[in-house]
Copies of this chain bind each other. A is one copy, B any other.
Amino acid sequence: MDNADSIGRMPVKRDTYTPDSLLKVAVEVFIERGYDGTSMEHLSQAAGISKSSIYHHVRGKEELLRRAISRALSGLFGVLDEPAAREGRAIDRLEHVTRRTVEVLMTELPYVTLLLRVRGNTDTERWAMARRREFDQRVSELLKQAVADGDLRADVDVRLATRLLFGMINSVVEWYRPSRAGRGGAATSEEVAEAVVRTAFAGLRND
């Protein structure tokens, strides 16, 4: 769509599709119609090229799904590798992971959305689910440690608390739309992340 100019002379930007730029289009359609509800014909119309041309860039429909999910997972696991997620008190690390996960969810919104909606019908989808469980597991250990430290309430089961925390975090993909980051619409990713952290850790009720 946007193709302003090329600086210098090297092949800076092409007007044609790359696997990644095609992926961007495809993922949006996947989210709108669901992966199974999207046909290659739908994709070709959204991309403005013929159905068969898509196969010039990617192996097929499932590769598009795999690429999207890979991107989402690397963003998510990247959070766990950040220094603030590896050092310090468990409660502080948990808060950091929560905040950063929300931010990644929002910056990589369509890719993570796709990951969270996978049902397990194909090998690719089952792999995605397994990797996602790994991520949840890592965060769950953080919660467990924070409870042991006495920083998190112990009257709610750790597994259940993890699920509720992720329920809150992951719900972002259900309603956040990046259009209009100013007034009247959505907020910045930092603002939303802050609200999630506050609500999750301090609760809705007034003191």
Which 7 A-B pairs give the minimum distances between C-beta atoms? A167-B171, A203-B203, A36-B36, A36-B37, A202-B203, A201-B205, A167-B168
Chain B nearest CB, measured from A72 CB (Å): 17
Instruction: Report if A157 contacts B (CB, 8 A).
Output: yes
Q: Is the interface of A mostly helix, strand, loop or mixed?
A: helix
In the docked arrangement, what's the CA distance between A34 and B118, Å?
Answer: 9
Which residues of A pack against B, CB within 8 Å?
Answer: 32-34, 36-37, 91, 117, 119, 121, 150-157, 160-161, 163-172, 174-175, 187, 192, 195-196, 198-207
Instruction: Decide if A161 touches B121 in the complex (CB within 8 Å).
Output: no
Instruction: Decide if B166 touches A119 in the complex (CB within 8 Å).
Output: no
A119 (CB) vs chain B CBs: closest residue: B34
Known contacts A153-B206, A205-B151, A206-B153: does B121 contact A199 (CB below 8 Å)? no
Instruction: Decide if B32 touches A156 in the complex (CB within 8 Å).
Output: no
